[in-house]
């Protein structure tokens, strides 16, 4: 997000490392969290857990491409507790008659943001990085540090800190913490921010920390359903408090004949009819127990 009126840029951009600590990116929403147990896992190594969840995330990423859903985005700026600007958009992520992914705008009032503007990177983050997926092919790009085990509502999870090994020009990455279900070996919660902030001579494009929760929608995969941001962006000229909520609802399997494979094995097809389970709407969902 950028200021409406540019100011002199910060003198440098901080490159972040794995030894960041959660305090550097904002404290996670601890709703439903038990105490963090730093003990090593029993009967499995952290490296094996990483390989397992990365393989499952690879399958999930392919499977999600066969679903439609509604995406509801609300971004607000606040002066104290008073909303003084808002961006809102509701779109349906669908397929056309030829099976091509399309977006249908359902609701898009005129934005009233006065102190910031939504950048291209903001929209790209909403689409690709707020619902963070860490696949096998992306594992080499990250340092992944096991930090312990933690209860998330009724789930037992393994907790890892994640940061890019390096930041290549033109690429964006996730940095933060992920919670992996110890039964399905899938990410069920994410907290962190997208990096790097983009600071040039005449502009500052800053990105706040966020928390994304997932729910098990189809009895097999954990889908992102709710993202929350409530933080302050520290521009050089002034601070801006940002609140952002993204809801992903009405997941439905698209009725196509596309086959989903992973490492040469068939893991599902897209020939199911639409009408699968829909996630709840409203408050941030707890990480549901396995159905």
Q: What is the pLDDT of residues 152-173, one digit of tens each?
A: 999 999 999 999 999 999 999 9
pLDDT over threshold 50, residue 280 = no
pLDDT at 2: 87
The pTM of the full predicted model, rounded to 2 decimals, is 0.81
Please give the backbone phi and psi of residue 82, each rounded to the nearest 5 degrees, phi first.
Answer: -100, 125
pLDDT at 173: 97
pLDDT band at 30 (very low <50, low <70, confident <90, very high): low
pLDDT over threshold 60, residue 284 = no
Please report, to the nearest 10 degrees, the dihedral formed by the alpha carbons of residues 248, 254, 259, 262 taken in order. 10
What tokens does 92 get? Answer: 């349906």
Contact 268, 260 (CB under 8 A): yes
What are the strands, taking DSSP E only, across the chain? 2-3, 67-79, 82-95, 101-107, 116-117, 142-152, 155-164, 173-181, 187-195, 198-199, 204-205, 210-216, 222-234, 239-253, 259-262, 265-269
pLDDT band at 273 (very low <50, low <70, confident <90, very high): very low
């Amino acid at each position: 997000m950028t200021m409406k009126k540019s100011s002199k840029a910060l003198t440098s951009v901080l490159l972040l490392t794995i030894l960041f600590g959660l305090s550097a990116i904002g404290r996670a929403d601890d709703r439903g969290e038990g105490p963090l147990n730093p003990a090593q896992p029993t009967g499995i190594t952290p490296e094996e857990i990483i390989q397992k969840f990365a393989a499952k995330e690879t399958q999930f990423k392919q499977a999600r491409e066969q679903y439609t859903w509604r995406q509801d985005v609300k971004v607000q700026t606040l002066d104290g507790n008073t909303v003084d600007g808002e961006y809102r958009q509701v779109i349906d992520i669908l397929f056309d008659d030829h099976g091509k992914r399309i977006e249908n705008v359902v609701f898009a009032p005129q934005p009233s943001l006065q102190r910031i503007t939504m950048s291209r990177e903001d929209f790209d983050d909403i689409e690709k990085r707020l619902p963070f997926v860490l696949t096998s092919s992306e594992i080499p790009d990250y340092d992944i540090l096991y930090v312990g085990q933690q209860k998330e509502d009724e789930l037992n999870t393994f907790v890892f800190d994640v940061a890019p090994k390096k930041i290549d020009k033109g690429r964006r990455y996730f940095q933060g913490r992920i919670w992996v279900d110890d039964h399905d070996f899938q990410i069920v919660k994410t907290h962190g921010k997208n990096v790097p902030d983009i600071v040039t001579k005449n502009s500052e494009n800053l990105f706040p920390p966020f928390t994304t929760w997932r729910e098990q929608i189809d009895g097999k995969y954990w889908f992102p359903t709710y993202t929350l941001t409530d933080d302050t962006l520290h521009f050089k000229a002034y601070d801006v408090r940002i609140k952002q909520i993204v809801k992903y609802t009405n997941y439905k399997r698209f009725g196509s004949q596309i086959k989903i494979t992973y490492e040469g094995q068939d893991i599902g097809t897209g020939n199911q009819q639409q009408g699968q389970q829909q996630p709840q709407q409203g408050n941030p969902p707890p990480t549901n127990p396995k159905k």
